[in-house]
Amino acid sequence: MRTQFHKATSQTADWRRLLKTRNFGWLWSGQVISQIGDGLTRVALLFFVYDLTGSALKMTVIGVLQTIPPLLFGPFAGVYLDRLPKRATLIVIDLVRVGLLVLIPMLYAMGNLSLPFLYVIVFLISCFSMAYGPALSATVPLVAENNLLTPANALIQSSVTIGQLVGPAVSGMLIAVMGAQNVLYVNAGTFFFSALCKIPIALPPQNEQGRTSTKTVWHDLRAGFKFVFQDHQILLLLVIIASVCMLSSTGFIFMLPVIGERVLHVDSVELGWLWSALGAGLLLATLWLVLSEQTVLCRRLWVMAGAALIGGLAVLALIWTHSLLMAALLIAAIGGSSGLVTPIVSASLQEKTPKELLARIFGVFNTGTMGMAMVGMTLFGWAADRYDPSFALFAMAAVGVGTAVLISLMIPWCKRLDRSAPS
């Protein structure tokens, strides 16, 4: 009992020590504010486009524009990001997003904002946001020790969760008070604050990699793919696992309004509670990771296998659930299971990858997971329309349980790869 108490106390001290360090503390603080701003924009931008056009289809184009850049440019962006100073890159990306976001309400107020130009601005914002993710993931191991990478990534994910919980609620109130387009000014302010938070961060000097040309870009891109697909297949294993997990979890998130209406038969207020339950489950999973001891890589796969199994069974149980409370508990379990995967995989990639290759590897990782997310949204949406939302839930559950089986079968392979991987 005393040993367990001391272990829990030590793990609590770990995440507190992380937040008290100047570098990680400032990085996390900026992330929390900017993620709340993202939550504001996610609602406000959709409201603004729908109010501007009156078309649901034109509104959904915003979501498509936000997913295209990671698929097309992710690996190439990683090549350039590996050559750039990380702190300066994060600051510049934040400031560019400030300028682009401010353009939307300014042009609208002047009567010069057309729908095609709005789409162009959203696409440009998405391009810089796409580059921000790998740059941030490459920065985390520069501000956190190797044995603290899992809680560090969990804390970074907690900023996303806080944004999901706070941003939409605040956005709704701000839209009513100041209009959807003016909420974008607030989001621009959060990105500006995020940029200011990165100024005190001091990172170790970066190795000089020479000038970038078309030839060197292709050479570096091939080097990144070779590192994953040939030299360190254990990283490929992690990318595959995360991508498959993303298939069902993202499909469920985007299908939740349909599931709420046609399977659970809830109204808009009750659907809001279910969204909150999803975020609460994600937050609890993040807190568990923050307080957990970082284990060896292959043992982490058991955690991901268990998470996939619990998530799959919870999705299956929703088909026969008639109680709002039970549905909220099951959806919290689904949110928690999805929240365990990304921090564990991110920490493992950071642990196994040389720092000069991190942005490239995370570019490949983000491309794979985003591709599978789009497949999941399309596949399960088609299944719900073609057959029935309950059938789509059954398919998601099958993917979740199948993913758990797949991960457990990969664990012996992981152990062999971990022993044979080049150092």
Residues of the chain with pLDDT > 90: what percent?
13
Question: Which pLDDT tens digit goes with each residue over 88-124?
Answer: 889 999 999 999 999 988 998 888 888 888 889 888 9
Whether 72 maps to a domain, the answer reads yes
In a shared domain, residues 34 and 138: yes
Note whether residue 5 is domain-resident: yes
Same structural domain for residues 105 and 238? no
**CA 252 to each of CA 9, 34, 248, 340, 409: distance values in angstroms, whole numbers, following the listed order:** 36, 25, 6, 16, 25
Residue 196 pLDDT level (bands cut at 50, 70, 90): very high
Kindly state whether residues 269 and 161 are assigned to the same domain. no
Last residue of a domain, one of 201, 227, 255: 201
The pLDDT tens digits for 23-70 are 888 988 888 888 887 777 766 776 777 677 766 556 667 766 777 777
Both tokens assigned to 143 = 């501000």
Q: Residue 134 falls within a domain, yes or no?
A: yes
> Where a domain ends, among 137, 167, 201?
201
225 CB-contact burial (10 Å; exposed 0-12 / middle 13-18 / buried 19+):
middle
Mean pLDDT in residue range 167-173: 68
Residues 61 and 176 in one domain: yes
Closest to 49 (Cα-Cα) out of 183, 174, 167: 183
Residues 186 and 258 in one domain: no
Can you give the pLDDT at residue 407? Answer: 87
87, two tokens: 């702190």
Of residues 191 and 421, more confidence is placed in 191
CA nearest to 147, candidates 408, 351, 389, 377 = 351
Interatomic CA distance for residues 153 and 350, integer angstroms: 10
Q: What CATH number did the domain enclosing 134 receive?
A: 1.20.1250.20
What average pLDDT does range 351-366 have in this prediction?
Answer: 75
Assess whether 168 and 245 both reside in one domain.
Answer: no
3-state SS class at 207: coil
Q: Are residues 177 and 224 both part of a single domain?
A: no
| 275, 178: one domain | no
Of 175, 201, 227, the position where a domain reaches its end is 201
Same domain, 405 and 290: yes
User: Residue 206 domain-assigned?
Assistant: no
DSSP label of 147: G
Q: CA 207 from chain center: how many Å?
A: 28
The reported pLDDT for the residue numbered 2 is: 46
Give the separation between CA 243 and CA 247, rounded to whole angstroms.
6
- Judge whether 303 lies within some domain: yes
Exposed/middle/buried for residue 217 (C-beta within 10 Å: 0-12, 13-18, 19+): middle
How many structural domains comprise the chain? 2
Query: Based on the domain organization, do 219 and 128 belong to the same domain?
Result: no
Per-residue pLDDT band for 398 (boundaries 50, 70, 90) equals very high
Average pLDDT, the chain: 78
pLDDT in tens, 129-156: 888 888 888 888 888 887 778 788 888 8
Token pair, residue 202, equals 């001091």
Q: Which domain holds residue 225?
A: 214-423
- Answer whether residue 357 is part of any domain: yes
Task: Tell me, yes or no, whether 32 and 166 share the same domain.
Answer: yes
* 293-329 pLDDT, tens digit each: 767 777 888 888 999 999 999 999 999 988 889 999 9
Is residue 137 a part of any domain in this protein?
Answer: yes
241 and 191 fall within a common domain:
no
Contact 39, 164 (CB under 8 A): yes
Closest CA to 122 of 106, 140, 104: 104
* pLDDT reported for residue 309: 93
Asked if residue 208 is part of any domain, the answer here is no
Whether this prediction's pTM lies above 0.75 is answered by no
Structure tokens at 51: 């109010």
Distance, in Å, from the CA atom of 333 to the CA atom of 327, rounded to the nearest integer, reads: 10
| Confidence band for 379, pLDDT divided at 50, 70 and 90 | confident
Average pLDDT of the residues in 388-393: 88
At residue 318, the pLDDT reads 93
